[in-house]
A = this chain, B = another copy of it.
Amino acid sequence: MAANQKFKIGLAQMACAKDPEVNLRRALNFIERAARSGARIVCLPELFASRYFCQREDVRVFDLAEPIPGPTTRALGRAAHRAKAVIVAPIFERRAAGVYHNSAVVIDASGKIAGLYRKMHIPDDPGYYEKFYFTPGDLGFHAFPTRAGRIAPLICWDQWYPEAARLAALDGADAIFYPTAIGWHPSEKERYGARQLDAWRTVQRGHAIANGVYVAAVNRVGLEKADAESAGIEFWGSSFVADPQGAVIAEASSDREEILFAEVDFGRLETVRRHWPFLRDRRIDAYSGIEQRFLEPNPKVKKAQ
């Protein structure tokens, strides 16, 4: 096993078209090219099969959802088998009438589904009306064993939650993959853009450090408008890979389609965690408040005098 722990991964930083067939065809092409260049894990951006439709609320969009397994996971399964690569692929999942999830499957290099993740943290912000579309996930946070290590898929908004990364790491993740769709509101970009991008990168690097895992964020690029009048969202790309000490070892452009390659070595988790033994000293007896919304002031513990 140890000999196989050092290999290349490929993040497909795509622009997404309106037509799902076009997106799938292009994704398959990205996967094939990435694998041909040696990538043993390939990750696609969040909801890669469509435009980022959450810019407005429209019930017709649910037509885009499909079951898992379904046509897309089958096509990706064949691609994984052909390419001998693990694929992390976001799917707009139709689970039942009225129950739709923002999901991601991990497909092993055999072509079989190794695990399913349903986005747990659902945002709702101007232009990101995800609570309308996505039922919150009910499968928890997990790392799935594959031929290329234990892979934990999390999705976009999960990036801001230390709990999600921690649970993935405690489940044995070697790497956390975050398929993403995040961008600038054009009116905010000049004033707040750099700060937003920096915070996004920093909080995820923090997860890598605190947990001693690789972190890979895979974003889309391009300006997408809900309609002709809309200012749209300029997806900021900047896909990156951080090593288990939080160092950025590969980073993509903010505006171009590309495959971002990075060399990972899952054997390094052992070394890093021996030197930075954070997991050893966790105070699991004292974290119970984490499962509460907010902690009311308790005058008794405030007065130590």
Interface residues of A (CB under 8 A from B): 68-69, 105, 112-116, 120-123, 125, 136, 139-142, 144-145, 157, 160-163, 165-167, 170-172, 195, 198-199, 202-203, 205-207, 209-210, 245-247, 276-279, 281-295, 297, 301-305
Contacts and interface: CB of A to CB of B under 8 A. Distances in A.
Contact of A287 (B116, B167, B246, B282): B167
A246 to B, nearest CB: 5
B291 A247 contact: no
Contact of A281 (B114, B157, B206, B279): B157
Given A209-B202, A287-B291, A161 B282 contact: yes
A279 B112 CA distance: 36
Nearest to A206: B206
Contacts of A144: 302
A268 B287 CA distance: 27
A27 B226 CA distance: 59
A195 B208 CA distance: 13
Contact of A206 (B166, B203, B302): B203
B305 A112 contact: yes
A246 B171 contact: no
B140 A247 contact: no
A167 B289 contact: yes
Contact of A305 (B113, B122, B283): B113
Given A113-B305, A172-B295, A301-B140, A166 B290 contact: yes
A152 to B, nearest CB: 11
A172 B141 CA distance: 27
A238 to B, nearest CB: 16
B281 A292 contact: no
Contacts of A170: 289-290, 292-295
Contacts of A167: 287, 289-290, 295
Nearest to A278: B160
A287 B290 contact: yes
Contact of A210 (B139, B161, B292, B293): B161
Contacts of A112: 305
A121 B302 contact: no
A209 to B, nearest CB: 5
Contacts of A276: 160, 199
B247 A302 contact: no
Contacts of A292: 170, 284
B195 A283 contact: no
A282 B158 CA distance: 9
A81 to B, nearest CB: 15
Contact of A245 (B122, B195, B283): B195
